Amino acid sequence: MTRDAPQRISLEDGGELLLVEGWLSPPEAARFFGALMREVPWEQKAISMMGKQVMQPRLVAWFGDPGAVYTYSGVRNDPLPWTPALLELKGRAEQTAEHAFNSVLANLYRDGRDSMGFHADKERELGENPVIASVSLGATRRFQLRHAGKKKGVAGRDIDLKDGSLLVMRGTTQHFWRHGIPKETAPVGARINLTFRWIESRGRSSPAPAT
């Protein structure tokens, strides 16, 4: 299978997207999906939302280099060591995104009832203009983008992220846009999403582009 040509999408206020459908062939996507279902210690975590503790509507796991600690929604995530499958995908994502990554948030959407609310990945440890590479495996789910300032005349964008696709968010996307995965009313299978990131820590500033 030939990889589809990358689609470059410009967003209002300096956001940039790179979408590559068919980034993985169907056999490759199936292999990685099976490996991650077996290897990842999926868990459902409680997060802080509007002053209350609620359970995340999906299963998650955090992996990365030692010291790549990530805190969001009041939860500190200490990295698990890389699995072989995640390391292989990280290397491929770095080549396409032309950016180095030292961590990944793995999300498992068990069915259409699992979701992710609108948010922006703009925590301090992600740096000023984070580059995030999102790999989708399994069922197709709708990825929604909405302008954070709700500017008049700025339309949102909906993208169906298919099995084996890669979406790179960069530029000022996390400053001016929020994104999420809505619930589905129709039956839908399981989906794994991997968002590769660079976590800044003491002595670890933003990386040079990957080669």
Buried b (16+ CB within 10 A) or exposed e, 146-179: bbbeeeeeeeebebebbbbbbbbbbbebbbbbbb
Q: From the options 3.30.2320.20, 1.20.1270.10, 2.10.109.10, 2.60.120.590, give the CATH code of 7-197.
A: 2.60.120.590
Q: How far apart are CA 125 and CA 127, in angstroms?
A: 5
Q: Give 96's contacts (C-beta < 8 A, 6+ positions apart).
A: 6, 18, 20, 23, 133, 166, 168
Local confidence pLDDT in tens for the 211 residues of the chain: 456 789 999 999 999 999 999 999 999 999 999 999 999 999 997 766 656 777 888 999 999 999 999 987 778 899 999 999 999 999 999 999 999 999 999 999 999 999 999 999 999 999 999 999 999 999 999 999 999 987 777 889 999 999 999 999 999 999 999 999 999 999 999 999 999 999 997 545 556 455 4
Q: How do the domains of the chain map onto residue ranges?
A: 7-197
Helix (H) / strand (E) containing 105: strand 103-109
Is the overall model pTM greater than 0.85, yes or no?
Answer: yes
CB-count burial class (<10 Å; 0-12, 13-18, 19+) for 66: exposed
Q: How far apart are CA 179 and CA 116, in angstroms?
A: 9
Q: What is the pLDDT of residue 182?
A: 97
Tokens for 123?
A: 């925590």
Block residue for tokens 């800044």: 200
